[in-house]
Every structure is written in structure tokens, then in C-alpha cells.
């Protein structure tokens, strides 16, 4: 090997030795294991704290400690890079936290006492609201849904939604709330709202004011929808006929036909009014307020016909009209209670307006009163009775009558103030379960606990303790531990006192409300086949419901919840829909309504004593 070859080899070796050092300096720019410098393009995430460093060796445990360990930096000295250069603190990356999602923030509630979120209609335009409402069966036959629906459609909205709200209130029979909407002068500026107000006033018996608005609205019928323009023509014929011009009904019938009115019952009534004869209504005809007012002109009003065929708008309107015949008004009020249209307080007012002979009130338990006024008689007698035992007996008779008539829950709420006055215990122990039910439905949870304590002799483990679990589900103000009385329910479930459907409903409600479900309850429920009955909405509704609730669109969430549950609310819903609706309502701040729906799903089938 000559000198030239040796020189070339030495030169190559020096390059090999130098190259890794320069590359290492470049590589250290990235610092792949330094948490403060994430790789380019990576999204910073919340990091768990690094593990604690291993304890440093001491000079006693490591003989090479002093020789191999550099001297520690003095306290407060600047941090240095591996190359010995001080870090620039101005460019250090601060620890990042995960962003807060909107769905994680608590909803802001309105301060008007409605219990609804602030700006409840936010995110929903008139077209989408109309589409959602068109798919609902109104009014819902559920106390919990009716309460929520009433508050929603009574909440103020933008101008584009006002006519839609008015129509929804009318279809639902919520005539008192509709009157409050029209009481604001600014609501009658448009021909559409004036026409709707005219229809409302005639419906509730305010004929003069209504007919005046009919004339104004009919003059601008081109600005109305085709259906509403036809209604104004019919009402114009009614107003003229009620004023003595019966021939106007015949003209109104012709004009209504030309306008496209196809309601056979309305056209027949106009002909009957003009001819001064009894009408021949189709067997399938539903009676609206306009039908009823024309029927009045013919003198052919039948209370039973009104109760059987009356629409929600008619039933709600007759409750507000004290000039209507007593039997007709009571029949309408009770039909409205069956349809969950009016409040229990409104039913009580109708009952109180009836007059009875002293002997009828002295002996209300003796049959013989007018069957249509039987429940009104019992209610008035219970209010006037002062003896606790007699009052308890009358209330039980009233509730038995209401159960057979199909509006038991309404009358429970009606009877609650009277039941509060009945002494708990003693010879009235037989009334305990009725007292529990009335207190539950009215939200008087202190009385629920008092009746349960009396029935159990003041000790836990009594035969009515399972009612306290239901009270826990319904009571939003409860500050004690949740689920304390579920062991009583668990024991009854193991003993077979719950139906399979009720077991699955109970497990669904408890899970949706974030209760710790007892293991035995889960085991018993899971050992039975999952029920497939109940209302289940079409595909996509539950997904849309979840999205709406996560986006805090309260009105859309409520409307989709009503669609998901179906007209019978929690009691008639499929368990999948039931759980999803409860979670969605909780998400938008409506936990009280979610609990009411859960309670409603369970109350009807809750185990009761044989005597009750």
C-alpha cells in the first residue's frame, strides 16, 4: 500500500467520524421525546404527568458517584439544552387542556318561571317547526307531555312563528293560552292573526267581537290561506244567521263551495240553518267550534255527541264558555280531561259551577243523581264535607268513578288538596295508598313520606316503601341520596310482583336518570325477553333527537321527543325511545320533565295492594 492510498483511507475515515456528529446536532433540533415539542402537524393533547424520576444514587450506594455525576446546578439557574445552551423561556409551550364542548356546559334557563331554557325557540325557523308539528298527534294524551307542550307553545317567539303557535294552540284545545296570545294588541296587525282571533272569539262564545273581526278578515281574504279564507266565509254566514238573516247561510254555503270547502258536515249545517231544520250529520263527522255554533242555531245540541265527536278545540272552548248548557259543559270538560287538554284546576271550576240540592250533597254516595253530573256532585260534596272519614269515603267514590270514566290521574290531582286535610293514621289507615297516590301526582312528596311512615308503623321495610322509590324518581327537589328505597323494589321484583314490561321500563328509566340500578333488579329484568311493544318512531328520529339536544336546540328537542314517544307519552312508548327521550330532555335542562315522563311510564303499572 503506497502513501497515496493510505492518505485516501485516512481522509475517508475522518469523514465517517465527522458525519454522525453533524447529523446528530441536526436531529436534536426535533427532540422527539421532549413533551414540550410535539412533532410537526400533531394536535396537542392533554398529557398525563410524567412518571417520577428514579431516586439519584448517593455517594454511599455508588462508589463512582462523585466521579461520574456532574455537580448540581445552583437553585434558580437557567435550564440548559443537551448542548449546554440555555433555553429561551419565551418560546416554551404551555401545557394545553382539551377544549370544552358546548354540550358539556349547563343550559341557561329562562327567568320567567316557565322552567324552559332561555330563547327556547332558538335554532328553529317557522318552516322546520311547521314540519315537525305536522307529524304530531295533538293534543298528546299524556299529562307529562301536555304540560311540556303547553309551556313550549305558550313561550314567546319571533313574528314568523306567532301564527304557527296560534294554530298549534287551537289544534291542541289550549284555548285559555290562545286567548292570552291574542290579548296583546300587536298580535292582531296581520289579516292572518285577525282571522285566527275571530275564529277563537266565536269559539269561546264572544260572538260580537268575533263577528266584527270576521268582517275585517273576509275583506282581505286574498291574504289568507285557502283553508282559512273558506272558514271566514262560513263564519260570515254564521254571524249573519245569528243576527236573524237565515238566508245568509245559504249564500255562505255556495261561496264556501266555490272557495273549495269540502267539509260535508259544515255544508249540511249551513243548509239546515237556512231551512230551519235539524241537520243530518255524517257518522264520521268531528265537531269543531264552528260546527257547534251552527248546531246551536238549529237547536240540535246533544251533550253526548259533543263529548264523543268534539275536537280538542271545541272541548277546550266550551270549558271557557259559562253560557253553555250545564250538561254540555260538564260533558265537554270531562272529555277534555280524558284527552289531557285542560288543567285539573279548570275541571274543578266547571264542577263547582254546578248546583245541587241539599239532600244530593248530604248523601252523595247514594245513586240517583244525573249520570252526567255524578262526578261533579261527588267533588262538590267532598269540598263541603268537614268530617275526615266522610270526606275520605267520598273521595274514594269519586276516584273510583273517574277510573271507570278514563281520567283517574286527573282526578287524583283534583282531589289532592282535599286529601291533604285527612288525618294520617288511626282509623283512616285504609286511605293510605290513596293518600300516597294523590300526594305523588300533586308533587307533595312530604305527604308521600308521611303516609308511608304511618302505614309502616314508623319503621323502614313497610309494605308501601316501594312508593318512596317512585317518589324519588319524580322529586327534582330531593337532596337526599338517590335510590335509597330501591332495595324495597328489588325485593318485590325478585318475588315476582312486577310484570316483565314494568321491570324493563323501570330499568330503562333508572339507567336514563343515572341511578345505580341494583344488581338483582338487573338480573331479574335481563332474565326476561325485552318487550317489543310500545310506540317506536321511524328510523332517524332518535338520532336527530340526540343531535338536537347536544346542540342545545330546545324547541326542536321537545318536538322530536313528542314524536319519539308517541301520543300516549311515557306510558305508551317503546323502552328504547323512552330512555333516549329522558336523556335528551336532561341534556337541554329539562330534568323535571324527564322525571315526569319516567314517572308516567311506571305509575299506571306500579304494584298496589289488593284492597286498593
- C-alpha–C-alpha distance, residues 575 and 565, integer Å: 9
- C-alpha–C-alpha distance, residues 299 and 99, integer Å: 70
pLDDT at 180 over 80: yes
Chain length of the chain: 612
Supply angle C-alpha 112, 115, 119, rounded to 5.
65
Supply angle C-alpha 400, 405, 406, rounded to 5.
100
C-alpha dihedral, 215 to 217 to 223 to 228, nearest 10°: -100
pLDDT of residue 424: 87
C-alpha cell at 85: 445552551
Structure confidence by residue, pLDDT tens digits, 473-521: 999 988 888 999 999 999 999 999 999 999 999 999 999 999 998 888 8
pLDDT averaged over every residue in the chain: 83
Structure confidence by residue, pLDDT tens digits, 540-592: 999 999 999 999 999 999 999 999 999 899 999 999 999 999 999 999 999 99
pLDDT at 324 over 80: yes
C-alpha dihedral, 465 to 510 to 506 to 414, nearest 10°: 60
Structure confidence by residue, pLDDT tens digits, 512-537: 999 998 888 889 988 888 888 899 99
- C-alpha–C-alpha distance, residues 394 and 377, integer Å: 10
Structure confidence by residue, pLDDT tens digits, 257-289: 988 999 999 999 999 999 999 999 898 899 999
Cα–Cα nearest to 578, from 495, 513, 518:
513
C-alpha cell at 270: 249551513
End-to-end CA distance of the chain: 116
pLDDT of residue 515: 94
CA 383 distance to own-chain centroid: 32
- Tell me if 164 sits within 8 A of 196, measured CB to CB: no
Provide mean pLDDT across the span 1-21: 44
Provide mean pLDDT across the span 215-221: 86
252 phi, psi to nearest 5 deg: -65, -35
pLDDT at 305 over 90: no
Number of other CB atoms surrounding residue 519 within 10 Å: 9
- Tell me if 411 sits within 8 A of 399, measured CB to CB: yes
Determine the 3-state secondary structure of 84 from DSSP: coil
pLDDT bin (cut points 50, 70, 90) of residue 84 is low
- Tell me if 184 sits within 8 A of 166, measured CB to CB: no
Query: Domain boundaries in the chain?
Result: 126-138+152-161+533-603, 174-310, 324-407
Structure confidence by residue, pLDDT tens digits, 33-70: 344 333 334 444 444 445 545 444 443 344 333 334 44
Structure confidence by residue, pLDDT tens digits, 402-417: 999 999 999 999 999 9
Provide mean pLDDT across the span 289-293: 94
- Which run of H or of E encompasses 200? helix 191-203
C-alpha cell at 109: 334557563
- Tell me if 128 sits within 8 A of 556, measured CB to CB: yes
- C-alpha–C-alpha distance, residues 294 and 234, integer Å: 10
Cis before 220 (ω within 30): no
pLDDT bin (cut points 50, 70, 90) of residue 88 is low
pLDDT at 312 over 90: yes
Cα–Cα nearest to 152, from 535, 561, 443:
561
C-alpha cell at 453: 311512615
C-alpha cell at 218: 273576509
Amino acid at each position: 500500500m503506497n502513501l497515496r492510498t493510505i492518505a485516501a483511507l485516512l481522509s475517508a475515515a475522518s469523514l465517517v467520524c465527522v458525519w454522525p456528529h453533524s447529523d446528530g446536532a441536526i436531529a436534536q433540533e426535533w427532540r422527539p421525546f421532549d413533551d414540550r415539542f410535539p412533532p410537526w402537524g400533531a394536535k396537542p393533547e392533554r398529557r398525563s404527568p410524567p412518571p417520577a424520576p428514579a431516586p439519584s444514587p448517593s455517594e454511599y450506594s455508588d462508589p463512582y458517584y462523585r466521579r461520574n455525576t456532574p455537580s448540581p446546578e445552583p437553585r434558580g439557574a437557567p435550564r440548559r439544552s443537551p448542548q449546554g445552551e440555555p433555553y429561551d423561556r419565551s418560546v416554551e409551550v404551555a401545557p394545553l387542556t382539551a377544549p370544552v364542548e358546548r354540550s358539556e356546559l349547563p343550559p341557561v334557563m329562562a327567568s320567567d318561571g316557565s322552567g324552559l331554557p332561555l330563547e327556547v325557540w332558538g335554532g328553529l325557523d317557522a318552516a322546520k317547526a311547521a314540519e315537525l308539528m305536522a307529524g304530531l298527534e295533538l293534543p298528546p294524551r299524556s299529562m307529562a307531555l301536555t304540560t311540556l307542550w303547553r309551556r313550549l307553545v305558550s313561550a314567546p317567539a319571533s313574528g314568523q312563528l306567532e301564527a304557527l303557535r296560534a294554530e298549534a294552540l287551537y289544534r291542541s284545545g289550549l284555548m285559555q293560552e290562545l286567548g292570552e296570545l291574542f290579548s296583546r294588541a300587536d298580535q292582531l296587525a296581520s289579516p292572518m292573526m285577525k282571522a285566527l282571533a275571530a275564529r277563537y272569539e266565536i269559539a269561546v262564545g264572544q260572538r260580537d267581537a268575533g263577528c266584527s273581526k270576521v268582517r275585517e278578515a273576509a275583506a282581505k281574504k286574498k291574504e289568507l290561506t285557502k283553508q282559512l279564507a273558506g272558514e271566514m266565509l262560513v263564519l260570515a254566514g254564521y254571524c249573519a244567521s245569528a243576527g236573524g238573516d237565515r238566508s245568509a247561510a245559504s249564500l255562505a254555503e255556495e261561496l264556501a263551495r266555490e272557495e273549495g270547502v269540502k267539509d260535508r258536515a259544515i255544508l249540511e249545517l249551513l243548509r239546515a240553518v237556512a231551512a230551519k231544520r235539524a241537520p243530518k250529520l255524517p257518522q264520521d263527522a268531528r265537531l269543531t267550534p264552528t260546527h257547534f255554533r251552527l248546531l246551536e242555531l238549529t237547536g240540535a245540541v246533544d251533550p253526548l255527541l259533543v263529548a264523543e265527536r268534539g275536537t280538542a278545540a271545541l272541548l277546550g272552548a266550551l270549558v271557557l264558555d259559562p253560557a253553555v248548557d250545564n250538561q254540555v259543559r260538564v260533558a265537554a270538560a270531562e272529555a277534555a280531561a280524558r284527552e289531557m287538554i285542560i288543567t285539573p284546576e279548570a275541571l274543578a271550576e266547571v264542577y263547582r259551577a254546578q248546583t245541587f240540592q241539599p239532600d244530593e250533597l248530604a248523601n252523595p254516595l247514594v245513586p240517583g243523581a244525573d249520570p252526567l253530573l255524578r262526578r261533579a256532585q261527588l267533588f262538590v260534596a267532598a269540598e263541603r264535607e268537614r268530617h275526615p272519614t266522610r270526606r275520605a269515603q267520598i273521595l274514594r267514590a269519586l276516584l273510583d268513578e273517574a277510573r271507570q270514566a278514563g281520567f283517574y290521574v286527573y282526578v287524583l290531582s283534583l282531589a289532592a288538596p282535599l286529601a291533604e286535610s285527612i288525618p294520617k293514621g288511626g282509623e283512616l289507615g285504609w286511605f293510605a295508598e290513596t293518600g300516597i297516590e294523590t300526594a305523588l301526582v300533586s308533587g307533595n312528596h312530604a305527604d308521600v313520606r308521611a303516609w308511608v311512615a304511618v302505614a309502616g308503623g314508623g319503621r323502614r321495610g313497610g309494605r308501601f316503601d316501594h312508593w318512596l322509590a317512585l317518589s324519588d324518581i319524580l322529586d327534582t327537589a330531593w337532596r337526599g341520596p338517590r335510590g335509597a328505597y330501591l332495595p324495597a323494589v328489588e325485593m318485590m321484583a325478585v318475588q315476582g310482583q312486577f310484570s316483565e314490561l314494568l321491570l324493563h321500563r323501570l330499568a330503562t328509566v333508572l339507567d336514563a336518570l343515572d341511578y345505580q340500578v341494583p344488581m338483582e333488579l338487573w338480573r331479574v329484568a335481563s332474565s326476561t325477553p325485552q318487550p317489543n311493544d310500545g310506540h317506536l318512531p321511524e328510523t332517524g328520529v332518535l338520532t336527530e333527537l340526540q343531535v338536537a339536544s347536544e346542540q342545545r336546540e330546545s324547541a326542536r328537542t321537545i318536538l322530536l321527543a313528542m314524536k319519539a314517544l308517541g301520543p300516549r307519552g311515557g306510558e305508551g312508548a317503546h323502552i328504547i325511545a323512552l330512555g333516549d327521550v329522558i336523556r335528551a330532555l336532561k341534556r337541554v335542562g329539562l330534568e323535571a320533565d324527564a322525571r315526569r315522563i319516567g314517572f308516567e311510564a311506571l305509575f299506571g303499572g306500579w304494584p298496589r295492594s289488593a284492597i286498593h
